[in-house]
Chain A
Amino acid sequence: MASNDIHLDYRIIYSIIEPDSRVLDLGCGEGDLLYPLVRDKHVRAQGIELDDKAIQECVKKGLSVFQDDIENSLREYPDHSFDYVILNQSMQEVKKVDLVIQEAMRIGNKVIVGFPNFAYIKSRLMLFFRGKSPITGSLPHLWFDTPNVRFLSITDFKNFCEEKNIRIVEAHYLGKKEVVHLCPNLLALNAIFVLTNNS
C-alpha cells in the first residue's frame, strides 16, 4: 500500500475532512484511512467493518470499530451524530443503497461517497468490442467472485442525487495516478462526492 496511486482516494478524503471532526467510516477495512485522520487531525473516529481480520487490525491501530454490516449499523445513531459519514468503496457492496445513503445523510452533516465508475472507457470497450464483463483498475473482480452488487456510473450517481434532492458540494474524479478533469464519466476510474441535504 505504499505507492501513491493506491492512496489517491485516501489522500483526497483526508484533505476534505476538517480537524477535530466526528467521522464514521462505513466499511473502514483495516483502518488505513481513519488512522492518519485520528493521529494527525484528531478526529473522533468510529469504523464499521464486517471482516474478522480487519477488525483486529483496526484495534491494533487503536481505532474504535463495530463488527457489523453497513445496512444494519446506522439505525441507532441519533440525527447529526457525525460531521462526516464516509462510504468509500463500500457503497457498491450494499444492497439497499438508497436506504444507506438516506440514513448516512440523517446521521452525518456531510456524506463522502467514493465508488468505481462503471462507465470508464476501458469498461465500455471491453463490453462493446470483446463482449465481456469489464475488468478495470477500480473493478478488478471477475463476475463470479466480486463483492460488488451495484454497478453504477458517475452519471448514474449524479442523477440519483438529483432525484433524491441531495446536493453535491464537491466532486473529485480519479484516474490511475492523478485527478481527472475532462469527461469524468468516460475517463475516471473512481469518483468521490461530498454530499449534503438540499434543505
Chain B
Amino acid sequence: MNKTKNEKNKNNSVGVVETQYYTFAELGRKHKLESGDTLGPITLAYETYGKLNKDKSNAILALHALSGDAHAAGVHKGQDDTGWWDNMIGPDKAFDTNRYFIICSNVIGGCKGSTGPSSPNPATGKPYALDFPFITVADMVHSQRHLIDFLGIDKLLCVAGASMGGMQVLQWVASFPDRVRSAIPIATALKHSPQQIAFNEVVRQSIMADPAWREGNYYEYGQPEKGLSVARMIGHITFMSDQSMEEKFSRRLKNDKFSFGFDADFEVEGYLRYRGANFVKRFDANSYLYITKAIDYFDLFGGKLIPHGKAINTRFLIISFKSDWLYPSHQSQEIVRALKRRHVDATYCELTSTYGHDAFLVEVVEQTTLIKHFLDKTFNGYMVVKNYGI
C-alpha cells in the first residue's frame, strides 16, 4: 500500500460504522439461483455511509472484490481496521458521503455475514459446506436487488466496483438497466479469460489438495490452512506487477545471508507467507472455492451486456491500469467496444500505475478526480464548469 496517498485522506473518515443484516427468502419462499437450485433464507451483511436524500436519488452501491466484505469504509467500534475502500468513500472523497448515500453488501457465498458455505444449513443445523448451491455473479446481483428494494431505492445513482466488483457492476446493468443511472467498472472484464480461469483453478486445487480440507467438511476441525494460504499467495502474485515487486522487494534477503535451506530467504517469500497465513484467519476456504467459480462462470460477452433491441441510458466510467496483467486494459477496452456498438454514453481511462491489479486500491488521486466529476455530472447535469466561453 502506498502510505502517502492513504494518509492524505486520513482525517476525513466516515467514523465508526456498524454492519447491518437483511434477511429474505424466508419460510419456504426460497430464492431461485441461476443454476436452477434454490437457497433460503438468505442474509446479506451490509453497511451504509452518508444519508439517503428525500427523493432517494443519491444512492450508490459499492461492490467488493473476491475477498472483500461489507465493511468498505470507516472503522468498527473498538477496532482500528478501516474498510477496504476507505480511501475512496468518505467526506469529500471520490464517493463523497456529504452528498451521497453509499451502500456496500457482502456477496452471497461469502463468509463475512452473508449466507455462504460456512453458514448453518437450516435442514441440518450444521454449516452447508459443499451442500451450498453454486452461485454466480448474477446471483450476487439479484440478491443485492432485494436489499436495494428493502431500502426503498428505485434507482441507484451509481453502481461501482473493481475486479469481481466490476463484474457485479456490469451484471447490474445487464440485469436491471432501468435501475442504474451510472456504472463504474474498474479493472475488470466482460468475461473471464482462460488465463484467469487457470489461475482460479490452481487456487482451488491448492485448497482441495490439502487433506485438512476434508471434502469441505472441515468446520469442526479448523481451516485447511496450508492449502488456503498457498491459494492466497498465488492471488497476491497476480495482484502485483513485475515492477511493483521489484520496487517492494527486489532480491532483498530477510537475513543477510542465504540459509541454504527452504526457509523464507527472500523478502518476497516472507511477504507471501505472511499474507497467506493472515488470510486463513479471516476467510473461509469453501467461500474461496465458490466465489472463484462464480467469477469463472462470468460471461457477458457477445451482446449479453445490453440485450439486442434495448437502449440503455446508463452512463459509464471505465477505468483500467497500465500494469494490471490480471485484468489487462484490453479487457476494459472490450467493454468500451460493446458500449460503442450500442451508442452508450461512456468514458474510458487507462491510468498509469506500477501497482498492477492492486492499483484500484492504491491509485487514489486520479481515480478520485475521475469518479468525483463523473458522479457530479450524473447527479447534477452539465453545470459542472461555469464561466467558460468560446
Contacts and interface: CB of A to CB of B under 8 A. Distances in A.
Interface of A: 7, 10-11, 14, 32-33, 35-36, 38-39, 44, 46, 52, 55-56, 58-68, 76-78, 81
B93 interface: no
A46 B384 CA distance: 17
B260 interface: no
Nearest to B336: A66
A61 B385 contact: yes
A81 B366 CA distance: 31
A49 B374 CA distance: 17
Given A66-B347, A76-B340, A78-B341, A56 B370 contact: yes
Contacts of B30: none
Chain A residues touching B, majority SS? mixed
B343 A59 contact: no
B8 interface: no
A39 B384 CA distance: 10
Nearest to B347: A64
A35 B385 contact: yes
Nearest to B345: A64
Interface residues of B, number: 30
Interface in B324-381: 333, 336-337, 340-341, 343, 345-352, 366, 369-370, 373-374, 376-377, 381
B329 to A, nearest CB: 9
B388 interface: yes
Given A56-B366, A62-B382, A64-B347, A36 B373 contact: no
Contacts of B385: 35, 60-62
Contacts of B349: 52, 55-56, 59, 67
B123 interface: no
29 contacts: A36-B388, A36-B390, A39-B388, A46-B345, A52-B352, A55-B347, A56-B349, A56-B366, A56-B369, A59-B317, A59-B347, A59-B349, A59-B369, A59-B374, A60-B373, A61-B384, A62-B376, A62-B381, A62-B385, A63-B347, A64-B315, A64-B345, A64-B346, A66-B346, A66-B348, A67-B350, A76-B341, A77-B341, A78-B341
- Max count, chain B CB within 10 A of own CB: residue among A11, A32, A59: A59
Nearest 4 CB-CB pairs, A to B? A62-B377, A76-B340, A62-B384, A76-B337
B389 interface: yes
Contacts, number: 75
B315 A62 contact: no
Interface of B: 315, 317, 333, 336-337, 340-341, 343, 345-352, 366, 369-370, 373-374, 376-377, 381-382, 384-385, 388-390
A28 to B, nearest CB: 12
B147 to A, nearest CB: 30
Contacts of A52: 349, 351-352
Given A66-B346, A76-B341, A77-B340, A39 B382 contact: yes
A58 B351 CA distance: 15
A11 B390 CA distance: 7
Contact of A59 (B341, B373, B389): B373
Given A44-B345, A62-B373, A68-B333, 10 more contacts: A7-B390, A52-B352, A55-B347, A59-B347, A64-B315, A66-B340, A66-B348, A67-B350, A77-B340, A77-B341
Contacts of A58: 347
Contacts of B336: 66, 68
Contacts of A65: 347-348
**Main SS at interface, chain B:** mixed
A55 B369 CA distance: 11
B388 to A, nearest CB: 6
Contacts of B389: 36
Contact of B390 (A14, A55, A60, A63): A14
Nearest to A73: B340
A11 B369 CA distance: 29
Contacts of A56: 349, 366, 369-370
Contacts of A66: 336, 340, 346-348
Contacts of B337: 76
Nearest to B338: A76
A58 to B, nearest CB: 8
Nearest to B319: A67
A61 B372 CA distance: 11
Contacts of A61: 373, 384-385, 388
A35 B388 contact: yes
Given A7-B390, A59-B369, A81 B343 contact: yes
B196 to A, nearest CB: 23
A30 to B, nearest CB: 11
A7 B389 CA distance: 10
Nearest to A10: B390
A14 B388 CA distance: 14
A84 to B, nearest CB: 15
A65 B350 CA distance: 12
A13 to B, nearest CB: 10
A183 to B, nearest CB: 28
Contacts of B376: 62
Contacts of A60: 369, 373, 384-385
A36 B390 CA distance: 7
Contacts of A33: 390
